[in-house]
Structure 1
């Protein structure tokens, strides 16, 4: 299959920007009609802005070849990915909550799946200390290049590899914990399933997977702002509440909800059973 790029959905980003603008104006007390009128005036400049971003932000090709994947890659955003996350409210407090849910311990071996520029990977490396190990992987060469550069600059012990979640280059039962933060909504359903099975394969019995992603939202504002994403094929099933189902299908259970972030993102914890027997559901006698 052809490798999917976020540019295939480029038309959605001006729409997402406009919907976000409407949501912000409504939050400040404007009526629907006033919010739509102001947004219409901003529409043309925003469309032009997104066009410039797409044309200017293409990274230089890395020296390593990107792995084959049927998931979406977001290489174009790599140079300003960290700043964008901060602007979207996914900064220190968000990362701190991930660390609290992950409950990492000294000496653990941790996998950061779809690590991007490796911000959380470096924080996790601090949490497990010198006796532990944290590896981040991503299918984007530019993301990995930035992650390695930042880790070297900060003196972090985190390491990074180019890999796709469908085929991980790690041994069976080799990690105590894994993280999937804002990754699954980029992946088609079949890649979600195969990727979660691969992560389950590399987790040790009793190991845990922490998933942070979009979910069914009770917030009207979140529904408005995220509406364009809910109509992208790879994201639609996350808004339908399918992530816990995919986790259980991969043999990771029990699955528990560990909290939410601003009524838009859900934190799940899924465990790998201590034995294969524990993962087999048996009927009641």
Structure 2
């Protein structure tokens, strides 16, 4: 099914700063911490945020693995799910229902109708809030986490020192959204992904690395050993107008090492170290800070 972009519940007349303050104050009044606000699948996101899986910043792992015809069926099903969960309202639901039945019959026959209908969609405030906060962040911390089960991702959208939207993406394409007013709380979610078994134990000696010899054979025995035995490999990077540090994490069975690059293409400032839980948390929190 091919559709035109849905209308959202954006309110351009509202001041972004005022919205951020309202959200952070509301989180503080409710006790702070991480507040789960929504779960969406790849397909459901594709319905309300029409971005090609190949073009978007945020990965859609399940949807990207489907063929074009499979994707059309998945999105049609997701649309029904969003309606049944009352996350969106569709004014022209009868016309849309007819189109969906026609498309599904054509797909079963190995054909495509090529028909197009505009969707008159109104999203709930909750869904609209998630999309707006994804689009308007000052910077974002992006995490890629590799395990034997595949690659998962996380995005922390930094709006102010008191407002963060966290999006965790499972290997199967489930997007878990949380709001928090604390960099400590946001960092805890990222921490749990890069060190799920809690092996960050103690701080080791800081080892300066040669930026021109970063291959496995030249990083030194202890780091080489932990790279070879890593169960979880993480990559944390800051996306902003002025890019920040890059932190690689290697979690083995009894220890966790980080390799930190101060700035992209930096000729110096690349260090490796076995880290404690406290040091790892501090490194993640540092990545979430806005410039002075």
Richer in strand (by share): 2
TM over 0.5: no
Q: More helix per residue: 1 or 2?
A: 1
TM-score (norm 2): 0.26
**Greater RCO between the two (CA within 8 Å, min separation 6)?**
2
TM-score (norm 1): 0.27
